[in-house]
Structure 1
C-alpha cells in the first residue's frame, strides 16, 4: 500500500473492512491474512485502472479483476476457480460493507458471482476392489482383525458414514430370525447429520461378519474397558473413534494393494454407485444415504452414465470409427 500521507479512499475502506472482520466478526488470523492479500491485489488492480475510491468502482472493474485472477499476469500465476472464488468473495464483502457504511451509493460487486468450482464426482471403486479390500481386512483370528472386517462390511453394506458406523450401539442392530421360506434379515438404525435417524437394511455378508465379531471378538475387546454400549470397540475396550476407523480402512487398502486412493467415504460412494448400477431407484438410494435432497444423490447417476459410455465405446461395433 502507499505511504500513510497518500492513503487513498479505497485503502481506508479496506482497512476499515479488515478491522470489522477482526473485531466484530472475529475471523481467524489465517482467514484475515488471506482477505488482506486478496484485497491488496484488488487495490493494485484498481490503481492500475486509475481508480482510487470505491465510489468510482463499477461492476466492470470487479468483473475485470475476476478475469485477471483466472488468466494471471507477469507477477501472478492463474488462480484456480476455488482460489479466485475466495478472492471475489473478499471483494464482494468489501463492497457490501462500504455500501452499508454509506461510503458508496451502491454495491457494484452485487451481480459479480464467484466462479463455480468444478464438480467433483464421488470416487467409487469397482466391486472387485471392494472384495479385495474386505478380504485384506480379515486375515487371522485376532479380535481386532475380526472387528475390522465387520466394520468395513457394515460401511459397504449400509452406505453409512464413518461417524455413523462408529456411533452404532449394539441395540441399533436389529436382526429378524429366519422364518419358513424367508432367510434371516437385519437392519441398523443410523444416527446421521442434524440428529436425523434412518433405518437401513443390512446384507447377509455384513450380518455374518457382525455375528462373528459379537461372538469371537467384542467380548475380548470389552474386557479391557469399563463397559460401553457401542458396537465397535478399540483395543482398550472403549468406543472406536473415527480416526481409528479411517486407519483401519487405509491399512486394508494398502494391504489389498489397490491402485486408487481410498478415503473414508469410498465405501459409501461405492455402495450408492453399485446400487444404481444394479437398477435401484435414485429416491431409494437417497433414503438409504440419508440425503435431504435427491439432487445430492443424483451426482451418483453421473458416474453411472459415465460408466455406461465407457462400456458402449468399447463394446459397440459402431461406437467409433
Structure 2
C-alpha cells in the first residue's frame, strides 16, 4: 500500500487500528496537557499521519509491531520523497522525526508499548542558518516607506502600517503576535505591550518611544476610520474592512514597504531578527534578549551572537591594516 494523503489526513489514519489509537491519544496529550499551538499541532498531526501510512504499508497495525527499521525507512522516505511527496530538507525531516520519537516515547511511558523503536534514530541535523538581519539604516528606510498617503482611507492604512512596522521592530514580536494584540494589551503610558507567544505563553515587552508614538497616532487618527463598521472588536490592528488584520495581511504590509524601500532580503521575521541583532550589537545581555524574544531556551537566542561575531570579523577584515596579507 502506498502512502496517501489528502487534506492533511491519510487513509491509514482512518483504519481504527491500535496504532492509530496510539497516535490519536498522543495528539490529544499534546493538545490538552502540553498546550501546543494550533499550527504546531497541525504539523505534528500531518507528520504522524504520513508515518501511519508508511507503517500500514509495511503491515504494522499495532505500535508494538514497529521496529527501528520501520522508523529509519520513514526517515529515508522523507529525505528521498515519493510520487506524492517531494524530498524534504533536513529541517523539515527533523521535525517529522521529532514527532515520531515523541510518539514512541509517550507510548512507552504510558504503557501503550513495551519498547521505543525510535530511541536510536536521530533526526538529521539541519545546516545552521544565521538569522538575516538588515542594518539600522535599512530599517529606517523600511519604516519610512510605510508612508501616509492622500485620501482618508489611504492615510488611515498608512498610519496603521507605520504603527505595525514600528511595533514589530520596537518589540521584537512575531507578526502573528503583533496581529493578535488587542487594544487593551497596550500600556502606552508606560510603553509596554502584553504579547501572547508560542504555546499560549504571555510576556510583557517594552515597545520604545518611536513605536509608542506611531501606535498613538494610529489609534487616534486611523483606527476609528478603519473600524467604521465596528467589526474589529478589541483588535489593535484592523484591515480595510474593519476586521482584525491577518498574519498574511501584515506580511503584505511588510512586503509592500520593502518594495518601496528597495529592500530584497525581507521576510516575516526580518524586523524580529534585526531587533535581536541590533540589541546584541548595542551591548545587551543575551539572556535579556532571550526574555524579550520569548525563547524557551537561551540556546535559541545564542544564534544571534554568531551574527554579531560575523559582523566583527567583517569590520576587522576591512578596517585593520594588517588583517590581510
> Normalised by the size of structure 2, how large is the TM-score?
0.67
Q: Which runs of 5+ in 1 are unaligned?
A: 2-18, 42-53, 73-77, 177-184
Counterpart selection for 1:115 from 124, 147, 153? 124
Q: Is the 8 A contact 1:225 1:236 kept in 2?
A: no
Tell me, what secondary structure is at the counterpart of 1:188?
Answer: strand
Could you list the runs of 5+ residues in structure 2 that have no partner in the other structure?
2-16, 28-44, 59-64, 81-86
Alpha-carbon contact 1:277-1:304 (below 8 Å) kept: yes
TM-fit CA distance, 1:146:
1.0
Extract structure 1 runs of 4+ deviating beyond 3 A: 19-41, 78-91, 106-112
Residue 79 of structure 1, CA deviation? 8.5
Q: How many pairs are equivalent?
A: 278
Structure 2 residue 12 is matched with structure 1 residue 25:
no
After TM superposition, give the deviation of residue 109 of structure 1 in Å.
7.3
SS at match of 2:244: coil
Match of 1:217 in 2: 222
C-alpha distance in 2 between matches for 1:101 and 1:230: 46
1:285 aligns with 2:289: yes
Listed as ranges, the matches of 1:1-321 within 5 Å are: 25=23, 81-82=90-91, 110-141=119-150, 142-176=155-189, 186-226=191-231, 228-260=233-265, 262-321=266-325
User: What is the deviation of 1:114?
Assistant: 3.5
Aligned partners of 1:39 and 1:87 also within 8 Å? no
8 Å contact kept, 1:35–1:87: no
Separation (CA, whole Å) in 2 of partners of 1:220 and 1:310: 47
After TM superposition, give the deviation of residue 237 of structure 1 in Å. Answer: 1.5
Offset at residue 272 of structure 1 (A): 0.5
Aligned CA RMSD, in angstroms, stands at 4.3
In the alignment, is the contact (CA less than 8 A) between 1:38 and 1:87 conserved in 2?
Answer: no
Give the corresponding residue for 2:61: none
Q: Is the 8 A contact 2:148 2:156 kept in 1?
A: no
Alignment correspondent of 2:38 = none
Q: Sort the Cα spacing of 1:170 and 1:113 in 2 relative to 1 into closer, same or farther, 3 A.
A: closer
How far apart, CA to CA, are the structure 1 residues paired with 2:23 and 2:200? 28
Which of 1 and 2 has greater Rg? 1
SS of the residue 1:25 aligns to: helix
Q: Is the 8 A contact 2:23 2:48 kept in 1?
A: no
Note the C-alpha offset of 1:313: 1.3
